[in-house]
Amino acid sequence: MGERERQRCDKAFQRDRGHLADLGIVIVQTSSEGMWAVDEAASFVEPVSLSREDLLVLDALLRPLVSDSSLPYRKDLLMALNKVERSFDGLPPVAVAAEGVASPKALEAVQRAFCKRVPVDVVYRRADGTVTERRICPYGFFSKRGVCFVAAAAVAADGSVEQVAKNYNSSRILRAVPRKGPVYELPDDFDIEDQVGLPFQLGPILGKARFLVPGDREGDLRADSGGKGTFAHDGQGRLVWQAEASSWEDAARWAAAEGLRPLEPPEVVEAWKSLLEGAIAHAG
């Protein structure tokens, strides 16, 4: 094999390694003689045995998710279900609408960076329309209200990673370019569930809202809030729950659904009153 041919093969091999790494299979060199092997500790390669009944259950449960455009790994799920369905005679491959066959390129680039645990440079459009450039370390993904969000920690100018992860609306990531390094690690105490928040906590925080909790609603509220917000008794001995809010209207709707009465700020109180007045007028 000539030198040019060898270089071409090496380049193709490294490209294939990158594709495999995106799928969770890490190939590492095991000797100076050019021997390579799968790094089982860093790869998702544990064998799983599924019966025909298991495959049917998986197909039935996961098929509806393919039509959810906010699902971060929608294209990967589509490929997996098509493989599952080849096990059954007469079942056509899963298909999605043409406009949602593949994830946006920017989101795919962020997902690649997450798989490789390397920072990614993104061009991001804020809610107010301003466009910024930033370097982030993706920690995970979740969908809410039909939108896919990326939980990530920002990288400072000196290369240090901020301790607190923030949520980024994937539809506002205009461009993303993964870096070659350095590799980062997920914090031991990071939990993607902590990033999801309550229905009125998506977007920039406007401030804190306080709600009066009826005695018969405390248990349900503690369960529904998922440990978010704080409970305390006021000077009159009443139980009050306080939580940050990104939308006063959404906070008012959630309070009405939970049977809470907002105390402040005035914006939440007025929105809550308007909801009740509208409900009464509609009932009449």
pTM of the model: 0.55
Enter the tokens of residue 283: 């009932």
Confidence (pLDDT) at 195 = 82
Confidence (pLDDT) at 248 = 93
CB 165 within 8 A of CB 139: yes
Structural domain boundaries in the chain: 3-38, 52-98, 105-196, 207-283
CB 166 within 8 A of CB 156: no
CATH T-level topology, domain 207-283: Alpha-Beta Plaits (3.30.70)
CB 171 within 8 A of CB 182: no
Which segments of the chain have a pLDDT < 50? 89-103
Q: What is the pLDDT of residues 75-112, one digit of tens each?
A: 777 777 776 655 554 444 444 433 333 346 888 899 88
The dihedral region occupied by 188, where left means phi > 0, alpha psi between -120 and 50, and beta the remainder, is alpha
Q: How far apart are CA 145 and CA 14, in angstroms?
A: 39
CB 256 within 8 A of CB 270: no
For 105-196, CATH number out of 3.40.50, 2.30.30, 1.10.10, 1.20.120 equals 2.30.30
- Name the amino acid, one letter, at 136: I
Confidence (pLDDT) at 93 = 47
Contacts 24+ apart (CB under 8 A), 20-26: 21/115, 21/116, 22/111, 22/112, 22/115, 22/116, 23/115, 24/115
Q: What is the pLDDT of residues 200-218, one digit of tens each?
A: 887 778 999 999 999 889 9
